[in-house]
């Protein structure tokens, strides 16, 4: 994974050398995402800059990727896991210039229109493809929005695109997120949605059964695909269900190289796992148990509250949000990424997405029926790009560590989401807890104390003192009078708590524009703030604290039941 930056719609009178210097300066602001090499492409219609984090084909594969005739220039931030299969399916000869998994996008563009080939890509990506002959740019983002992407227009009306907002926020007054699952075509000036799945509607999944074996095998294939790497890698292991399942499956494939279908021994066959928390945190203890059972080379790191507090401004600058839950969870992840980078690891597998697929959040206990449960799952998946995916990607990539998310693998999603949601629902009468169907599918993979561990939010699991300390710090920084006038200073998404106000204040120092503040929807990711959840339990409407512990009665009831 890397970063991309582009300027399109250049005019004959533009100073290309000045624009090239400007593009390099703006791209440099996100070089933490790609510290291994920088590449630049310039012609009279476009400028592309790529900051590379070399994961596949580290000796080659530099970007922007050019076609053999020089007419196509492609800058990609991401991984295409099924690139080998796609190459075999090409109907026309294509002279590949590198071993990069991403170059197949150029070949597919030569054969088909984006609306068709984008739906064949299984990966995480954001890219800009420039067709010099047609003076056409294609911009696209992966279906869920695992990889960030922003766009806007400069004062001269030129279209600009970048992996992170910090590269655009002071030059594009209209900076905004590029929506997941969409593609833009400059030749028609249209933004189109390419990712539409039948399972989004409950009628398409009602009555559908998915066997435990099919669910398990689909996830095993997803993890296997995402072990595609030529550099040292590891797994994030909190000791919870999701990260432990990722680690357990990865451990089964770690000894053989994925890129040659397991024909040779992996270049780095020992699987390393990583966890972080305050001293005595639940996650550190549970991760140690899981690691001992799985036989990983485990690294459990402790951080102090003061170290986390010191990092907060940098965390907010990197993750580009003022959302409370995201910042709480991003800070320990940011600190962990720094430790991982220091050990020479460049890629990690993580467990994001499972809660959105299987209803793992504790407020799902209140869902009245399968239809509403399923509809809330779809809403949560649609919001992932603003919260968990944003957190995982930006906090890890702040130190040049690429996170991959097997639960959000495109093929696995199609299996897990076609299941009638009644199979995912909690049944207190029978003792069936959240994500029981996933736990049952992996019986025997993990010790029972891990497989059936109660849900913890990441920001809770690193140690309850973390959240309590953040609240106390904000209480000392923000007065009652200042909070009471929050809607005057911040008319868009006014903060409701002192902690939220404090984060918003820091965010504004880095990103003062109104457009930047609008890239954070709602300003809070309280799990129970959706209209559906409020309908399930009216008490959710008045909640201002997004911690899992604060979901009125649910956490305690779940633990007791």
Burial class (CB within 10 angstroms; exposed 0-12, middle 13-18, buried 19+) of 190: exposed
Give residue-wise pLDDT tens across range 112-157.
999 999 999 999 999 999 999 999 999 999 999 999 999 999 999 9
Q: Does 209 count as an annotated binding residue?
A: no
CB atoms within 10 A of CB 16: 12
- Contact (CB, 8 A) for 55 and 229: yes
Active site residues: 2
3-state secondary structure 257-277: CHHHCCCCECCCCCCEEEEEE
What is the strand order of the sheet 150-153 is part of? Answer: 37-42, 46-52, 3-8, 159-162, 150-153, 176-177
Is residue 551's pLDDT more than 70? no
Q: How many CA atoms lie within 13 A of 462 on its CB side?
A: 29
Residue 361 Cα distances to 447, 464, 513, 561, angstroms: 22, 18, 33, 16
- Is the pLDDT at 552 greater than 50, yes or no? no
pLDDT tens digits, one per residue of 469-494: 999 999 999 999 999 999 999 999 99
Whether residue 211 is annotated as binding a ligand: the answer is: no
3-state SS, residue 432: strand
Identify the weakest region by mean pLDDT among 142-151, 223-232, 331-340, 500-509. Answer: 223-232
Which pLDDT score is estimated for 559?
A: 44
Residues in the chain: 561
The residue whose two tokens read 């602001």 is 29
Reported as a single tens digit per residue, the pLDDT across 272-331 is 999 999 999 988 998 999 999 999 999 999 999 999 999 999 999 999 999 999 999 999
- Cross-sheet strand order for the sheet of 123-131: 65-66, 72-80, 123-131, 136-141, 182-185, 190-193
pLDDT, tens only, 22-38:
999 999 999 999 999 99
Neighbours of 14 (CB within 10 A): 16
Q: Please report which confidence band the pLDDT of residue 431 belongs to, taking 50, 70 and 90 as the band edges.
A: confident
Distance CA 130, CA 147 (A): 20
Torsion of CA 533, 461, 456, 469, to 10 degrees: -30
Between 74-83, 454-463, 511-520, the lowest mean confidence (pLDDT) is in 454-463
What is the pairing mode between strands 72-80 and 65-66? antiparallel
- pLDDT (tens digit, 9 = 90+) per residue, 362-402? 899 999 999 999 999 999 999 999 999 999 999 999 999 99
Task: Tell the residue number behind the tokens 């790529």, with chain if given.
Answer: 50
Q: What is the pLDDT of residues 42-78, one digit of tens each?
A: 999 999 999 999 888 787 778 999 999 999 999 999 9
Which H or E run contains 152? strand 150-153
Report pLDDT for 379: 96
CB atoms under 10 Å from CB of 484, counted, come to 9
pLDDT given for residue 561 in this prediction: 44
CATH code for the part of the protein at 207-560: 3.40.50.620
Q: What residues does each domain of the chain span?
A: 3-196, 207-560
For 368-380, b/e burial (b = at least 16 CB within 10 A) is eebbbbbbbbbeb
62 labelled binding-site residue: no
What CATH number matches the domain at 3-196, 3.60.20.10, 3.30.420.40, 3.40.605.10, 3.40.50.2000? 3.60.20.10
Joined together, the tokens standing for residue 369 give 């029926």
- Structural tokens at position 110: 């030569």
Range with the lowest mean pLDDT among 28-42, 169-183, 255-269, 342-356? 255-269
Q: Sign (positive/negative) of CA torsion 430, 244, 398, 195?
A: negative
Mean predicted lDDT score pLDDT of the chain: 92
CA nearest to 109, candidates 84, 85, 135, 90: 90
275, two tokens: 């966890």
502-546 per-position pLDDT tens digit: 999 999 999 999 999 999 997 544 445 577 777 888 777 666 665
Which one has a higher pLDDT value, 106 or 453?
106
* Bond preceding residue 171 cis, omega within 30 of 0: no
Contact 150, 161 (CB under 8 A): yes
Is 51 in contact with 31 (CB distance < 8 Å)? yes
- What are the percentages of helix, strand and coil residues in the chain, rounded to 5? 45, 15, 40
- In whole angstroms, what is the distance from residue 90 CA to residue 340 CA? 38
Asked whether residue 101 is marked as a ligand-binding residue, the answer is yes
Confirm whether residue 80 is marked as ligand binding. no
**What's the average model confidence in pLDDT over 200-222?**
98
Q: Which of 61, 53, 5 is nearest to 28 (CA)?
A: 5
> pTM of the prediction?
0.94
Following CA atoms 540, 550, 548, 321 in sequence, which dihedral angle do they give, to the nearest 10 degrees?
80
């Amino acid at each position: 994974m890397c970063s991309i930056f582009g300027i399109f719609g250049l005019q004959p009178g533009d100073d290309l050398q000045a624009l090239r210097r400007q593009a390099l300066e703006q791209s440099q602001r996100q070089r933490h995402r790609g510290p291994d090499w920088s590449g630049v492409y310039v012609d009279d219609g476009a400028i592309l800059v790529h900051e590379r984090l070399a994961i596949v084909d580290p000796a080659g594969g530099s970007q922007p990727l050019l076609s053999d005739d020089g007419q196509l220039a492609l800058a990609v931030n991401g991984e295409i896991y099924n690139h080998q299969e796609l190459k075999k399916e090409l109907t026309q000869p294509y002279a590949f210039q590198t071993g990069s998994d991403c170059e197949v996008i150029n070949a597919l563009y030569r054969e088909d229109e984006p609306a068709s080939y984008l739906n064949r890509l299984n990966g995480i990506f954001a890219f800009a493809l420039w067709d010099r002959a047609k003076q056409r740019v294609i911009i696209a983002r992966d279906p869920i929005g695992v990889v960030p992407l922003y766009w806007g227009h400069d004062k001269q009306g030129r279209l600009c695109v970048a992996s992170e907002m910090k590269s655009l926020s002071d030059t594009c007054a209209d900076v905004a997120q590029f929506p997941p699952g969409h593609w833009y075509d400059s030749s028609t000036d249209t933004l189109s949605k390419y990712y539409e799945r039948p399972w989004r509607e409950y009628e398409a999944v009602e009555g559908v059964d998915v066997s435990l074996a099919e669910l398990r095998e689909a996830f095993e294939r997803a993890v296997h695909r995402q072990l595609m790497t030529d550099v040292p890698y590891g797994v994030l292991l909190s000791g919870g269900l999701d990260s432990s399942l990722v680690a357990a499956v990865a451990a089964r494939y770690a000894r053989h190289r994925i890129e040659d279908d397991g024909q040779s021994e992996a270049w780095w066959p020992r699987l390393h796992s990583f966890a972080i928390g305050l001293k005595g945190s639940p996650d550190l203890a549970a991760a140690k148990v899981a690691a001992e059972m799985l036989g990983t080379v485990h690294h459990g790191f402790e951080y102090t509250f003061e170290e986390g507090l010191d990092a907060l401004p940098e965390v907010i600058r990197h993750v580009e949000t003022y959302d409370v839950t995201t910042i709480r969870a991003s800070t320990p992840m940011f600190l962990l990424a720094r430790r991982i980078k220091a050990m020479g690891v460049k890629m990690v597998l993580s467990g994001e997405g499972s809660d959105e697929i299987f209803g793992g959040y504790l407020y799902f206990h209140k869902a009245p029926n399968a239809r509403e449960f399923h509809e809330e799952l779809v809403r949560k998946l649609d919001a992932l790009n603003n919260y968990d995916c944003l957190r995982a990607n930006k906090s890890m990539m702040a130190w040049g560590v690429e996170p991959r998310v097997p639960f959000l693998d495109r093929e696995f999603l199609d299996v897990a989401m076609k299941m009638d949601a009644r199979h995912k629902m909690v049944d207190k009468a029978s003792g069936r807890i959240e994500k029981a169907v996933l736990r049952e599918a992996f019986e025997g993979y993990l010790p029972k104390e891990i497989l059936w561990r109660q849900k913890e939010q990441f920001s809770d699991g690193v140690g309850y003192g973390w959240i309590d300390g953040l609240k106390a710090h904000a209480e000392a920084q923000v007065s009652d009078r200042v909070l009471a006038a929050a809607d005057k200073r911040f008319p868009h998404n006014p903060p409701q708590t002192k902690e939220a106000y404090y984060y918003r204040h820091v965010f504004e120092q880095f990103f003062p524009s109104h457009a930047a503040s609008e890239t954070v929807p709602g300003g809070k990711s309280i799990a129970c703030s959706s209209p559906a959840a409020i309908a399930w339990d009216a008490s959710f409407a008045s909640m201002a604290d997004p911690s899992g512990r604060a979901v009125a009665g649910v956490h305690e009831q779940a633990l007791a039941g």
